[in-house]
Amino acid sequence: METDKYKAEEWLYEIAPKTNLFSLQLKEVWRYRDLLLLFVKRDIVTVYKQTILGPLWYLIQPLFTAITFTIIFNNVAGIGTGNTPSFLFNLAGIIVWSYFTVCLNDTSDTFKRNASIFGKVYFPRVIMPLSIVITNLIKLGIQLLIFIVFYSYFAYLGQMQISFHWNLLLFPGLIVLMAIMGLGLGMIISSLVTKYRDLSFLVSFGVQLLMYLSAVMYPMALIEEKLPTYGWLVTYNPLAYVVEASRAILLQEGTLSWFGLLYTTGFSFMVLLFGLLLFNHTEKRFIDTV
């Protein structure tokens, strides 16, 4: 009788190995949303807990980078930024670019960094990279506040004009595209690193090189004008369209290419889908190689 009782009982959750590569189990991620928020809270509290300046590092990094770019690329190299102050031009590009790089770098070693947790308890592994992307949104919000402060300062000096236009509604969409690309590429790299360890050493170098091809410190039109032979490297870079569009929205400097944004959107979702599939495949046996 007891055996029949247990047979008739329906389990609330059933943990079973994934047999289908295309089974992403997004409903399961939603079921573990409380754990996702817990990881986000953990990352916010612990990252700068034992530092002297704490969250001020969120502000120091983009400010000093913007100052360095202004001195080297604008004052020394003479790269023009139109009617926008060079510092504000660089700060806008750096803030958007930094969000992508942090998401990419932090998710690219998900399996290696969390191997001890993954080996002890079950939960959807994709929650880890998702928590990184959400946590960095808070950092981005703090940096955007400091951008608004400097924008207001230059407006007070008469070098900028405060205006509100409908294009501002597109800015959150650009951030989502950066998050999708960072998440997708990060999951691809984290999956490959479990087998090819030396790939992790190339990530930081590759990201730095990619920054120069993403129009972070110069307008896209400039590279097409000065170096038409190599301009295609920037033209076919989806990240460049997001950076350029961000400046066009925030500063009204540069062009808002609808074709470029459509191309970037398609590329982003393709990378995310491939990253999810590869991540889903790797999590089955990564513990044997990490």
**In the chain, where the domains are located:** 26-284
The yes-or-no verdict on residue 22 having pLDDT over 60 is: no
What average pLDDT does this structure show over 169-178? 93
What average pLDDT does this structure show over 134-146? 89
Tell me the pLDDT tens digit for each residue of 248-275: 999 988 888 899 999 999 999 999 999 8
What average pLDDT does this structure show over 101-107? 88
Tell me the pLDDT tens digit for each residue of 56-82: 777 888 889 999 999 999 888 888 888
Q: Which of 1-15, 189-203, 249-263 has the lowest mean pLDDT?
A: 1-15
pLDDT of residue 14: 56
What torsion, rounded to 10 degrees, do the Cα atoms 245, 103, 146, 82 define?
Answer: -30
The yes-or-no verdict on residue 105 having pLDDT over 80 is: yes
Helices 199-212 and 86-107: crossing angle, nearest 10°?
160
Helices 258-282 and 238-250: crossing angle, nearest 10°?
130
Average pLDDT, the chain: 82
Helix (H, G, I), strand (E, B) or coil at 186: helix
The yes-or-no verdict on residue 54 having pLDDT over 90 is: no
User: pTM of this prediction?
Assistant: 0.84
The yes-or-no verdict on residue 45 having pLDDT over 90 is: no
pLDDT of residue 8: 47
Q: Kindly report each contact of residues 27-31 with a partner whose C-beta sits within 8 Å and lies 24 or more positions away, as own/partner.
A: 28/124, 29/124, 29/126, 29/127, 29/130
